[in-house]
A = this chain, B = another copy of it.
Amino acid sequence: MFQVASYETYEDGQEIFKEGTYGDWIYLIDEGAVEIFKTVDDQKVVVGVLPEGEILGELAYIAKIPRTASARAVGHTVIGIIDRNFFDQEFNKLSADFQKMIKMVAVRLKNATETICRSKINAD
């Protein structure tokens, strides 16, 4: 469904992007699956495994923040890189209010994910 500019292939365990780095491409899982994980207090915490059809990397794009988690391929995985020109044009046309609203949602998701990861560590 998403307009994809190009495709990349990853093998099991290969890193797609790393938490804390700068980069704001948005990816679509075309084939395979992607594990999203964070490092909290030096411990790896899995946020979830996204299946085919899901997108990743959208928080950094929307909120203009560093990658909030790391992503790695689970098995042989094909990732579509979503056409950014198209998204940028749309994003830049949005009013400051609308941009602020979707950024707030993105930041709330980032915070909620951190809360979940911390509680997972504390439960261990």
Contact = CB atoms under 8 A, between A and B. Distances in A.
Contacts of A105: 58-59, 62, 102, 105-106, 109
Contact of A119 (B109, B113, B119): B119
A5 interface: no
B104 A54 contact: yes
Contacts of A64: none
Interface residues of A, number: 34
Contacts of A106: 105
A96 B62 contact: no
Nearest to A94: B90
Interface of A: 1-3, 26, 54-55, 58-59, 62, 82, 86-87, 90-91, 93-98, 100-102, 104-106, 108-109, 112-113, 115-116, 119, 123
